[in-house]
Amino acid sequence: MAARRRVVFNKKGGVGKTSIVCNLAAVAARRGRRTLVVDLDPQGDSTRYLLGERAPETAPTLKEFYEGSLGFSLLPDRPLADFVHPTGIPKLDVVPSHRELGALEEKLQSRYKIFKLRDALGKLRYDEIYLDTPPAVGFFTVSALVAAERCLIPFDCDDFSRQALYLLRGHVREVAADHNPKLEIEGIVVNQFDARARLPQRLVEELEAEGFPLLRPFLSPSVKMRESHAAGRPLAVLAPRHKLAGQFEALYDALPG
């Protein structure tokens, strides 16, 4: 059976894309699902989160994969499987990013490589694939939207982010209409939700009234998240009994399918 492919997308920075990708992927792996994370962000945050200290020397990366597709690599057009690395967490692999990935963007765009990732992922054998994207709507984010069938949108309970949701929904619908009829918004992941404050409560009620599919549970703010990034180990591994780890488990179970 083909892998379930999820992209986590929001062009706003710091809303929790990487945290959601890596923690849901770690939950999936713990449930025995063969799981892959592809880090399409040149910042390489998922790469560091999953590989920890080994991140800088882990090669080849997505950069060499794309260089191969352009014909300027020693690894011309090799299958994506050659760029997959084990994370050390059972059943969880990663295709790492590289800080110079961004320099390829224009070339890849002008040479119509937008379907490269989709086609390459189709040849891999995984149960679930999670795609982390940079905070922009450029070549890499669109490639991920083209390659996925489900899209999760993190929402950080900010008034500006609420307005931006309409735009984000528009981007997803446009990519779906132009390139990927399978793509659906699976839901909005509410992150750093402070249940005691009034504004976040009001915002989520408004969004629900407007028909946005908010997934539950909402994720709490916790310093454990930063500790987990710093340790290079997702919460399901670092602190499986922590409240936030439990919320990721419940969120994974609540995903429509």
For residues 22-54, one letter each, b for 16 or more C-beta atoms within 10 angstroms of the residue's C-beta and e for the rest, the string is: bbbbbbbbbeebbbbbbbbbbbbbbbbbbbeee
- Residues 27-56 binding Mg ion (CB under 5 A) are 45
- Residues 111-150 binding ligand ATP (CB under 6 A) are 135
3-state SS assignment for residue 181: coil
Q: Is 112 exposed, middle or buried (0-12, 13-18, 19+ CB in 10 A)?
A: exposed
With respect to ligand ATP, which residue has the nearer C-beta, 124 or 207?
A: 207
CB of 122 to ligand ATP, least distance (A): 26
- Residues 180-199 binding ligand ATP (CB under 6 A) are 191-192
Q: What single letter denotes the amino acid at residue 208?
A: E
Q: Applying CB under 6 A, which of residues 4, 63, 116, 229 lies at the interface with ligand ATP? A: 229
CB of 190 to ligand ATP, least distance (A): 10
Distance CA 230, CA 52 (A): 8
- Interface segment toward Mg ion; rule CB under 5 A; list 12-20, 83-91, 203-211, 215-223: 12-20
Sheet holding 85-86, edge to edge: 85-86, 92-95, 35-39, 128-132, 4-8, 150-155, 184-190, 214-215
97 binds ligand ATP (CB under 6 A): no
18 binds Mg ion (CB under 5 A): yes
CB of 16 to Mg ion, least distance (A): 8
Distance CA 18, CA 45 (A): 7
108 binds ligand ATP (CB under 6 A): no
216 binds ligand ATP (CB under 6 A): no
41 binds ligand ATP (CB under 6 A): yes
Tell me which H or E stretch contains 154.
Answer: strand 150-155
Q: Which residues bind ligand ATP (CB under 6 A)?
A: 13-19, 41, 43, 45, 135, 191-192, 219, 221-222, 225-226, 229
